[in-house]
Structure 1
Amino acid sequence: MLKLPQLLSFFLTIVVSVSATSQPLIRQKSPPPEMGGILILGKSLQRMTNICRNVFPSQAAVYEGIYQASSIPRYLALFKFEAKIPLVTGSRDEQLRALGMSEEEANSMCSTELMQHIDGFDRKYAHRHEEIEASFSELKKSISKAKQEAPKPTKASTNDPRFDSLVSKIKETSKLSFDSANWAIFADLYEPGTFDCWKSVPNASDFGFLALHPIPNDATYKVEKFTEFMLSNGVFSNQKPTHLMRISYQHSSNAERCGQGERKRWPSHYFFLVNRDDNYHLTHYCPQNPSEIEWGVPVSAAMFSDTINHLDASDWKIVPKEVKLDPSNERGARDYLREKYGFNPKQATVAIEHICNPENISPQ
């Protein structure tokens, strides 16, 4: 499971040792293993550029110029992935909240990280376009031949009752795991052996990396084919996914106490599926650099309660004041909570939403 900002970060850090296809009928062809990585990285950088243009319109021409001067557009045109798909819409504040980023974080991403990634892309791939184009042409011929020879697969429909059943289990189990602070329960939804590749990661057996807010019953989902260009065979413990499921919903909370009216977020969670034995099963990617993984505090009802119990009467005066001064980033409020209690960003969000909601009563 991946949240939207995490998914972008994950795509940008994938080791580009990717296979272009998982279809056994065309394994006799050996396209450059980094072909899938070029597509993923290029598409992610296009989306990063799009985010930067939207969030910082005064610099839009600069970001677009740097992107267009790179070799990325040529590669996306080669793979026919030129279309720009906005990740979020709405006002600037709504975009930042939906992305789960502060203005400072977004500025760092746009002014530093975007440039570094585009430069790195060009140094690695700009001089290889003709080579990749020739290999891609051969690959398309092989795929076309394989499709003609292979039996037609059963089409995946979003209305498929098998998807409905899986989504219901995900929703129900997310609530149970959140309430009990036991994400091993959620891990049981996945195929046996899925997390074998996580055993070398300290504390991975707690499955905190699966933690998420309870998914509400009115959440919607969308399923699409997991194409051969997304990830490599080596990224997953078990079989490469056949489908990608996105579950999304709107989260709103009353924030009148902080002068915001209504706080809105649009969380999206991504799940990788394998079609096997006439059913769909959850699978998960493997960690790329286990020694570099750092754990935060997994979200749970206990974490929410513990965070709220730390708050005292003075916080209910200071936090709304700080939020009103900086409603986009809430930097002052977050810094205050971090310095006073050591709250991480997740805990700070819980505290701010609780205090800003006038339905909650300040302790005396």
Structure 2
Amino acid sequence: MVSIVTSLTLLTVAGCGLRLETPPPTEPVPDAQETLRRDAVDGALLVGELAVAAGATSSGLDATSLATLAEAGTFADLHVTQLGGVYDSGLPEPDGDTDEPPSGATEQPTTPTTATPAEVLDALAASSASMREGIDQTDDGPFARLLTSIVSSQDASARQLAASTGTPLPESLALPTGLLVPETTPSGLTATDLSTIIEAEDAAGYAFEVRAALADGDVRAAALDRAVLHRARAEAWAQAAGTAGGAQDPRRVAYSVPADVPTAELAVQLESSLAESYAALTAEAGTGTRPPLADLSTEASLAAVAWGAPLAAFPGLPEQSTTPPAAG
């Protein structure tokens, strides 16, 4: 008989010549957050590709329109970078001897070689709408804040492109108007958050009132309109927070208004600050309650542009205000 020790030895020696076959690694299935991120990247990529193609192939565009298209393309590149770029699984490319795509892979779209301003506007509107939905779906607060900023940037780019080229805006790109303040406070916001935004809106309203009283013509009318709106928003937020008229109401009788800053410049500062505040609140608010905050941030950033602020890749994100231009 062969002893048990001998049998085990023979088995071990034989096993040294065995090659266990393992399946090749496969790309992981993206979770909900990664899906939102990839969708945002895809939308920004398409905007950038179409903007470049339109700038190169659309005839009859003036210098302003071409500059607007180039800026939209540059912004799109910056958006893609901040969103994390195109996903790379790190897996080796499949062998080129088969026409069948690997399991789970999708055929990559070809880069457009021609485009029109209208197609760029459609892409901006579609990307903005998709990211706006993502703002309210993600569980990642900072990601919601980033999406809020990009939505505002794409909205402003679309409006400038439409104006410079005489192309109608897509109907889906509706301008946020009115109070926009929700009747109930968004989840996740603290009493300090609410007190801060109430006071900020009220202070902006007061500053616009002061400047309207000192101006005339179009400047007076524009300042007065913003004064009325910001005062109304302060009241609406105070009502939603349950502090209106009470001891916890942070509003004051008067605020300090700098006298040596031109009205348009002051208006840009006020509206940009509010855009920043509302973008920050989207990071604090819970899912299902963010759309009004995102809309308020976009409305304020558009108001800043109307007062003379330049378009920005990341309005409302002060840490991105000195972002260098994308490499060509």
**TM-score class, shorter:** under 0.3
Structure with the bigger RCO (C-alpha within 8 Å, sep 6+) is 2
TM-score (norm 1): 0.21
Rg: which structure is higher? 2
Q: Between Structure 1 and Structure 2, which shows a larger proportion of helix residues? A: 2
Q: Between Structure 1 and Structure 2, which shows a larger proportion of strand residues? A: 1
